[in-house]
């Protein structure tokens, strides 16, 4: 029997497990599937951990999410086609839920199937090599410190790419008298109440962590961008300036001449695609981009088509794109989708990469990833979902952010699955200090 290993039980690994589960429910004979998850529980980044650094077994902590994290895009854009928000919560809920609510939703779908028993928890994959037409996987049971080996026909890498921080160094850091941390280790904005905070970066983490620090009472927040400013209309107490030049004692000196006393520096400088456990000739090497090269349809490894990578793109679309990838991968593995010859694979990859390299603004990027997801969607029986509506929502959301970065999360959107409209939340985001599921749903 064909044997499949899935590495990681975050949203992508769970999409893969759900795809097989759905085929089995339709009476199809599915391969043997084993999922390895190095944490004690499932949900990937959405499974919050207070820990930073390494865990009780000495293993690096993968979690990068923090307290008070609310969805950074409308939930309608990530909705599962086969499990709507209305079905899970029994009623329409507002469009920008906090982390705990999305975590509940992700798990709600997989708790119902024959899925959890396929996952080996606290089990870290330490090596993947291809020999004699099989993948040999070595894995460590972290609780017993015992290593084992097993062979598989296919490997699905769903280990995420927002867990290993990219940490640059600036002059003066070693003598800076305050705290320096990467967004990967940021857990609670309360820590920065009354402080002068410098945030470096100009993408999602910089935007959200800067806003969190402001919301929870930082004295000032100064964002240093490298190439392009985010350019939002920042509230009083926040500003965006050009690139940190150096630190001099507790003073941060920027390239545009701005000087700012700082108590803390938060490096929102992104993450590394880091797969040290995969043999080098199978390893995806890329920066964070919308179409990493060498992946046919964004998932099948060009040089060995029994190796699948899920969710390795920079992401506007998330959960339903992961699903489209997983359903496609499942059908490739089960022989329902035949891959073209290597010339056509190469042409297809080059076409997408060339298009991606020409993208100039968020609207074009949204169009690009929507077209990619739609194309994948058509290849499998993943249920109907209105990607045109999702495209429209993403563009509206981008424009709401430009209008007012403090209020975009108060807006409401309609579901691409059920059509129902999210109610306006009872408390505007900038005043909502409690991010619990109970308060969000019940007040
Ligand atoms: P992950 O969620 O990272 O899961 C990977 C899993 O693989 C983890 O459980 C990990 O323990 C496991 N693993 C890793 N290596 C191994 C190994 N060697 N052996 C065994 N197991 C392993 N997306 C949204 O849609 N909305 C948001 O609001 C949003 N906010 C975000 C905020 C932050 C701070 C970050 C970092 C990301 C955010 N995202 C958001 C994007 C996020 O990438 C996806 O939502 C999603 O978590 C990606 O799923 P994944 O399965 O690819 O990776
Ligand atoms: P991203 O989106 O990969 O962005 C990384 C940012 O880091 C980006 O703005 C880079 O600026 C910046 N960067 C990288 N190196 C430096 C240095 N040396 N100095 C200053 N700035 C630097 O990562 P995020 O963490 O923001 O987002 C990851 C996920 O978390 C995302 O999917 C969200 O859903 C939440 P550049 O543009 O290259 O100048």
- Taking only the tens place, the pLDDT of each residue in 221-232 is 999 999 999 999
Q: Do 235 and 228 meet the contact criterion of CB atoms below 8 Å apart? A: no
Nearest to 216 by CA among 430, 2, 443, 442: 430
pLDDT at 312: 98
In this predicted model, what pLDDT tens digit does every residue of 356-368 receive, in sequence order? 999 999 999 999 9
* Residue 423 DSSP symbol: P
Residue 370 pLDDT more than 70?
yes
- Tell me the ligand closest to 365's alpha carbon: 2
Nearest-angstrom CA–CA distance, 239 and 231:
10
Distance 268 CA to ligand 2 centre (A): 6
Mean pLDDT for the stretch of residues 231-248: 97
Mean pLDDT for the stretch of residues 231-236: 97
Nearest-angstrom CA–CA distance, 68 and 45:
14
Residue 344 pLDDT more than 80?
yes
Ligand 2, atom 14: nearest CA belongs to which residue? 269
Q: Give the DSSP per-residue string, 33-77.
A: EEEE-SSSSSSGGGS--S--SB-TTSPBP-----TT-B-SS-GGG
Strands 32-36 and 3-7: parallel
Nearest to 63 by CA among 186, 168, 211: 186
Nearest-angstrom CA–CA distance, 180 and 191:
13
In this predicted model, what pLDDT tens digit does every residue of 391-404 receive, in sequence order? 999 999 999 999 99
pLDDT at 443: 61
Work out the percent of the chain whose per-residue pLDDT is above 90.
99
Distance 202 CA to ligand 2 centre (A): 6
CA 245 to chain centre: 30
pLDDT at 112: 82
Atom number in ligand 2 closest to CA 207:
26
Atom number in ligand 2 closest to CA 269:
7
Nearest to 440 by CA among 151, 99, 37, 187: 99
Mean pLDDT for the stretch of residues 309-327: 98
Equal CATH topology for 3-164+271-393 and 173-267: yes
In this predicted model, what pLDDT tens digit does every residue of 134-169 receive, in sequence order? 999 999 999 999 999 999 999 999 999 999 999 999
Q: Is the CB of 270 under 6 A from ligand 1?
A: no
Distance 321 CA to ligand 2 centre (A): 21
CA 258 vs CA 244, 253, 342, 371: distances in Å:
9, 6, 53, 42
- Tell me the ligand closest to 199's alpha carbon: 2
Task: Give the pTM.
Answer: 0.98
CATH class held by domain 173-267: alpha beta
- Tell me the ligand closest to 47's alpha carbon: 1
Strands 123-131 and 134-141: antiparallel
Q: Give the DSSP per-residue string, 143-165.
A: TTTEEEEEEESEEEE---SSSSB
Distance 324 CA to ligand 1 centre (A): 17
Q: Is the CB of 89 under 6 A from ligand 2?
A: no
Atom number in ligand 2 closest to CA 72:
34
If one residue of 166, 171, 226 were mutated to test the ligand 2 pocket, choosing by the most ligand atoms within 8 A of its CB, it would be: 226
Ligand 2, atom 15: nearest CA belongs to which residue? 269
Mean pLDDT for the stretch of residues 349-361: 98
If one residue of 44, 171, 203 were mutated to test the ligand 2 pocket, choosing by the most ligand atoms within 8 A of its CB, it would be: 203
Q: Do 103 and 47 meet the contact criterion of CB atoms below 8 Å apart? A: yes
If one residue of 19, 121, 159, 183 were mutated to test the ligand 1 pocket, choosing by the most ligand atoms within 8 A of its CB, it would be: 159
Instruction: State the pLDDT confidence band at 419, using cuts at 50, 70 and 90.
Output: very high
Write down the CATH superfamily of domain 3-164+271-393: FAD/NAD(P)-binding domain (3.50.50.60)
Q: Is the CB of 38 under 6 A from ligand 1?
A: yes
Distance 47 CA to ligand 1 centre (A): 9
440 C-beta neighbours (distance < 10 Å), count: 21
Q: Residue ranges of the domains in the chain? A: 3-164+271-393, 173-267
Q: What are phi and psi of 241, to 5 degrees?
A: -130, 170
Mean pLDDT for the stretch of residues 81-94: 97
If one residue of 204, 229, 241 were mutated to test the ligand 2 pocket, choosing by the most ligand atoms within 8 A of its CB, it would be: 204
Q: Is the CB of 369 under 6 A from ligand 2?
A: no
If one residue of 269, 290, 321 were mutated to test the ligand 2 pocket, choosing by the most ligand atoms within 8 A of its CB, it would be: 269
Q: Do 60 and 165 meet the contact criterion of CB atoms below 8 Å apart? A: no
Nearest-angstrom CA–CA distance, 183 and 196:
16
Nearest-angstrom CA–CA distance, 36 and 10:
11
Question: What tokens were used for 38?
Answer: 């190095």
Residue 179 pLDDT more than 90?
yes
Q: In what order do the strands lie in the sheet with 251-254?
A: 244-248, 251-254, 259-261
Residue 10 pLDDT more than 70?
yes
**What integer best gives the mean pLDDT of the chain?**
97
In this predicted model, what pLDDT tens digit does every residue of 289-300 receive, in sequence order? 999 999 999 999
């Amino acid at each position: 029997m064909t044997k499949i290993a899935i590495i990681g039980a975050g949203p992508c690994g769970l999409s893969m497990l759900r795809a097989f589960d759905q085929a089995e429910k339709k009476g199809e004979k599915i391969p043997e599937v084993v999922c390895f998850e190095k944490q004690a529980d499932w949900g990937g980044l959405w499974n919050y951990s207070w820990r930073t650094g390494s865990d009780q077994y000495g293993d690096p902590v993968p979690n990068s999410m923090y307290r008070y994290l609310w969805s950074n895009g409308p939930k309608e854009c990530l909705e599962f086609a086969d499990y709507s928000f209305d079905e899970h919560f029994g009623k329409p809920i507002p469009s920008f839920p906090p982390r705990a609510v999305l975590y509940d939703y992700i798990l709600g779908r997989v708790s119902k199937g024959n899925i959890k028993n396929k996952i080996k928890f606290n089990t870290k994959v330490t090596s993947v090599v291809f020999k004699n037409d099989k993948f040999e996987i070595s894995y460590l049971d972290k609780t017993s410190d015992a290593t084992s080996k097993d062979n598989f026909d296919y490997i699905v890498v769903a280990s995420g790419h927002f867990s290993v921080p990219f940490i640059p160094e600036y002059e003066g850091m070693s003598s800076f008298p305050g705290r320096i941390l990467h967004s990967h280790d940021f857990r609670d904005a309360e820590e920065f109440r009354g402080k002068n905070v410098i945030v470096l970066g100009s993408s999602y983490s910089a935007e959200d962590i800067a806003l969190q620090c402001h919301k929870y009472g930082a004295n000032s927040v100064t964002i240093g961008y490298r190439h392009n400013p985010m350019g939002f209309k920042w509230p009083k107490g926040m500003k965006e300036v050009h690139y940190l030049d150096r630190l001099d004692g507790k003073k941060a000196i920027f390239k545009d001449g701005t000087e700012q006393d700082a108590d803390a520096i938060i490096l929102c400088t992104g993450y590394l695609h880091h797969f040290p456990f995969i043999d080098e000739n199978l390893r995806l090497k890329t920066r964070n981009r919308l179409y990493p090269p060498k992946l046919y349809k964004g998932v099948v490894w060009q040089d060995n088509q029994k190796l699948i990578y899920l969710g390795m793109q920079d992401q506007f679309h998330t959960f339903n794109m992961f699903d489209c990838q997983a359903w496609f991968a499942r059908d490739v593995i089960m022989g329902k989708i035949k891959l073209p010859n290597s010339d056509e694979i190469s042409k297809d990859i080059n076409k997408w990469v060339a298009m991606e390299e020409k993208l100039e603004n968020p609207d074009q990027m949204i169009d690009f990833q929507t077209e990619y997801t739609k194309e994948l969607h058509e290849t499998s029986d993943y249920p109907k979902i209105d990607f045109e509506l999702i495209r429209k929502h993403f563009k509206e959301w981008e424009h709401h952010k430009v209008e007012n970065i403090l209020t975009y999360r108060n807006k409401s959107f309609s579901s691409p699955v059920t059509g129902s409209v999210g109610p306006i939340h009872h408390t505007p985001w900038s005043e909502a200090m409690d991010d619990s599921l109970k308060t969000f749903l019940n007040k």
